[in-house]
Structure 1
């Protein structure tokens, strides 16, 4: 089988990108609100939280949704954070714990106004918001 080479562009420089980079005017407010919302659940220890915040999901969503309303950019940033957290938690869980977390999240999505069972993962509560 032949070897295939893939090149990942330098996303910082994008020197050959043919379109201007347009940042949403809502970036700062979305970054602040989305970060405060996620941090309020205390899901990550401080060193992990610092690394998580450097991901800056609001920034990528502000570039990719630069003409969207503030609400839409915020939803996009929050969803990225949610997926990232789910991935981080499930990476270190065994199969049954991952299934339990997934079931909790589905329950939270299907019944956003009903209390989750006692002892449910905090990501489930965040999901209901």
Structure 2
């Protein structure tokens, strides 16, 4: 069974039996919410639709984005990400992992963000 692994440099810190999820966070400076939908596939994490509440520093909204329910919706065409590397520091706050509308902070599985460990990776993995 395929699932989601969380860790760094191929070392698994936590495994989750997921086939899809939304990654959500607030921009560290602008405090604007971002959301990205992913499918977990054997080839990696496939980015689907993304949403952002507004623009700001380093947060340009793509030209083809459409405003709907207060967020700009768009879709990037990227190859599967294997791994997806995330910066994770106390100053920036934590990411939320959402499944079927239920969101939980990555700290639930990884502990709080720490300066000495400023990154985490997510990738698809076989689970036994």
TM-score (norm 2): 0.22
Determine which structure has the larger strand proportion and give its number: 2
Instruction: Name the one with the larger helix percent.
Output: 1
Q: Which one has a bigger Cα radius of gyration?
A: 1
